[in-house]
Chains A and B, each alone.
Chain A
Amino acid sequence: MSRTIPARRGRPAAAPLPQRKNSLSLRLKRISRAWQLYVLLTPAIIYILVFKYWPMYGVQIAFKNYNPVDGFTDSPWVGLTHFIRFMNSYQFGQVVGNTLWIAVLGLLVAFPIPIILALLVNQLQSERFKKFTQTVLYSPAFISTVVVVGIMFVVLSPRSGLVNNAIQLGGGEPIFFMGSAEWFRPIYVISDVWQNAGFSMIVYLAALAAIDPALHDAAKVDGASKLQRIRHIDLPGIMPVVTILFILAIGNLLNVGFEKALLMQTPLNLSTSEIIQTYVYHAGLQQAQFSYSAAIGLFNSLLNLALLLFFNTVARRANQATLW
């Protein structure tokens, strides 16, 4: 990338200190001099302690029988009981399978499309058409999940929906999309692309804009076609951003889309639409099985973390950009 990333500045070379006592008092002095910075940081720290680390501490209830009187700390330990119960339950295979299905399908379909769109938009000659395309394609990102699912229900309605009207016009039978288990996954992924592809494209466009135009000029001089320039200049140029976003997408693989899946659920499509997190919601918050559902949630988090570590290692082996 042409934009030079400033050389990583290490710690400012500390002057070698003759005595230990000196260094300690120096450090204390530096800390006390920065007290106003700590004050600025305090609200954010309190926030993560209360809303991130306290729940993390509470994860121990996955190994306990939680009751409100004893709280997180004093509820009795039961070991792996809840995990074993989950793994032996008839939903286990289905729920984990459904989760992996939409996660992997979403990644395979929804991840490459914004990259392709960005490469195409970047090649447009007219600045105005470029801008117009960007604005239109990313506008659905500002529509709420609730409304997007609402749109699905009306547009796909078997009685009066746009899509079924078109099917009937072509002589087909109307399909009850939202009430069919086979259609849940396609609708889920297509709507994901419809809503988010344009917004994800922006990051890639920013990365493309950072590529040195001299490279393109030089390639043109050599008579490279547009496709060749995309293949040999644009793609390698945005590869670091692609890799990092891919790893981040993996890191979120099992967390995304939970709200949409929950909204899209109807009693008729549960066999494909019940994913780990909606199951946690139903078992935990609707049936108040706190410990059992916390265990399932923890299972989900650990699976996710394992995927993230795995792909980060793969990226490092392949000498690509990594998160750390």
Chain B
Amino acid sequence: MSLTTNPRTTENRNRPLSQVRPKPSLRDKYGDRAFNIAATTVLLLSILAVVFPLYFIVIASISDPNAVYEGKVWLFPSGMTTEGYERIFADSRIWNGLGNTVIYTVIGTAVSVSTILCGAYALSRKDMPGRKILMLLFVITMFFDGGLITKYLVVRDLGMLDTVWAVVLPGAVGVWNLIIARSFFEHTIPNELREAAQMDGATDFKFFFKMVLPLSKPLIMLMIMIHVVAQWNSFFDALIFLNDDSKYPLQLVLRNILIQSDVSSTGTTGGDIESYAAAQRIAELTKYAMIVVSSLPLMIALPFMQKHFTKGAMIGAVK
């Protein structure tokens, strides 16, 4: 890589060190300062662009819907109301969806993480005959897959439609996650450790469960979090594989309320235009509140998860 060349130029090399000391010209000094100001400004603007819509949704969710409608809400909530939240908590679809999501998330994460850890460990072992071919079998699926329709037909033929398994199994093992886990094992479990354990008569099972897993806590945490977030946020598999709306996960319920419907979900029937418009504003209010409620769990967990995700990115990058 070109990086290894020393940026110190040859002519400097023969001079005494005192003369090679940094002597930034005034222009460079101001250049750096200008750069710092520009960089900080750009980043502050980016932060604003990310935060403001979210902040607005939070304040809109507790503001008088008429004030929001008339464009009076900008930086502070106005005419506080909790009606949006009350409506959500009274809505059985939301609770039912939340319950389903928790079930799918727990089962899905357990299945995915255990399959990935076991498989990745085996693939990390250089002494396993056929390792390369088996790995290739996985890698191929990253670049070519059978597509939506045949996946649907397979799940249907397996009789999994309208069951938990349709939501949990078809996307259980991501090859990318498998690769991350494999390179983690390759880099953190020294060969010597295994050889020593084998001397002491430990089998592969015993070594994996008693030594490798306890040494891999950061990886296990990362894998759990990746899958919890993915399963919590997923809606598409549920959309195509579930017909029975009592089995819908939260995201699918949200989609039906937030995106698919406008007024119909609030149950307005007839009435004059005035009450129709009022119902519509309440519906908007409920949407704001719903966005807040559904995103809150992951947002609260974010500071805790960040450390692990950053580490995960490192594993990916070093690979």
Give residues in A with beta carbon < 8 Å to B: 1, 3, 9, 12, 27, 30-31, 34, 36-41, 43-45, 47-48, 50-59, 61, 66, 71-72, 117, 120-121, 123-125, 133-140, 142-147, 149-151, 153-155, 157, 159-160, 162, 165, 168-169, 194, 198, 202-203, 205-207, 209-212, 215, 218-227, 232-233, 236-237, 240-241, 251, 259, 262-263, 277, 280-281, 284-285, 290, 293-294, 297-298, 300-301, 305, 308
What's the interface size class on B, roughly?
35 or more
Known: A154-B60, A159-B69; 5 extra A-B contacts, CB below 8 A, are A40-B119, A54-B154, A142-B298, A222-B9, A226-B32
Give residues in B with beta carbon < 8 Å to A: 1-3, 6-9, 12, 20-25, 28, 31-32, 35-36, 39-40, 42-43, 46-47, 49-51, 53-54, 56-57, 60, 68-69, 71, 114-116, 118-119, 121-123, 125-130, 134, 137-138, 141-154, 157-158, 169-170, 172-173, 178, 203-205, 208, 229, 232-236, 240, 251-252, 254-255, 258-259, 280-281, 284, 287-288, 290-291, 294-295, 298-299, 302-303, 305-306, 309-310, 313-314, 316-318
Q: Does the CB pair B298–A202 fall under 8 Å?
A: no
Q: Does the CB pair B3–A162 fall under 8 Å?
A: no
Q: Does the CB pair A227–B35 fall under 8 Å?
A: yes
Interfacial chain A residues near B35, Cβ < 8 Å: 123, 225-227
Closest Cβ neighbor of B146 among chain A residues: A55
Q: Which residue of the partner chain, among B152, B204, B254, contacts A150 with CB atoms under 8 Å?
A: B254
Q: Please, could you name 15 A-B residue pairs with CB atoms under 8 Å apart, sorted by A?
A: A1-B3, A38-B128, A45-B137, A54-B154, A125-B36, A150-B290, A206-B318, A209-B314, A218-B8, A220-B22, A222-B7, A222-B12, A225-B24, A227-B31, A281-B240
Q: Does the CB pair B39–A124 fall under 8 Å?
A: yes
Interfacial chain B residues near A53, Cβ < 8 Å: 141
The residue among B39, B235, B298 with the most chain A CB atoms within 10 A of its own CB is: B39
Interfacial chain B residues near A284, Cβ < 8 Å: 148-149, 152
Q: Does the CB pair A123–B39 fall under 8 Å?
A: yes
Interfacial chain A residues near B233, Cβ < 8 Å: 142-146
Q: How far is the CA of A186 from the CA of B172 in the complex (A)?
A: 33
Interface of A is mostly: helix
Q: Does the CB pair A194–B49 fall under 8 Å?
A: yes
Q: Does the CB pair B118–A27 fall under 8 Å?
A: no
Interfacial chain A residues near B236, Cβ < 8 Å: 259, 262
The residue among B36, B47, B234 with the most chain A CB atoms within 10 A of its own CB is: B47
Q: Determine how close the nearest CB of chain A comes to the CB of B223; give it in whole angstroms.
A: 13
Q: How far is the CA of A121 from the CA of B44 in the complex (A)?
A: 11
Q: Does the CB pair A308–B53 fall under 8 Å?
A: no
Q: Does the CB pair A143–B295 fall under 8 Å?
A: yes
Q: Which 4 A-B pairs have the closest CB atoms?
A: A55-B146, A44-B119, A297-B147, A165-B71
Q: Determine how close the nearest CB of chain B comes to the CB of A220; give it in whole angstroms.
A: 6
Interfacial chain B residues near A215, Cβ < 8 Å: 3, 7
Q: Which residue of the partner chain, among A56, A154, A308, contacts B145 with CB atoms under 8 Å?
A: A56
Q: How far is the CA of A163 from the CA of B12 in the complex (A)?
A: 57
Q: Does the CB pair A233–B3 fall under 8 Å?
A: yes
Q: Does the CB pair B143–A308 fall under 8 Å?
A: yes
Q: How far is the CA of A297 from the CA of B147 in the complex (A)?
A: 6
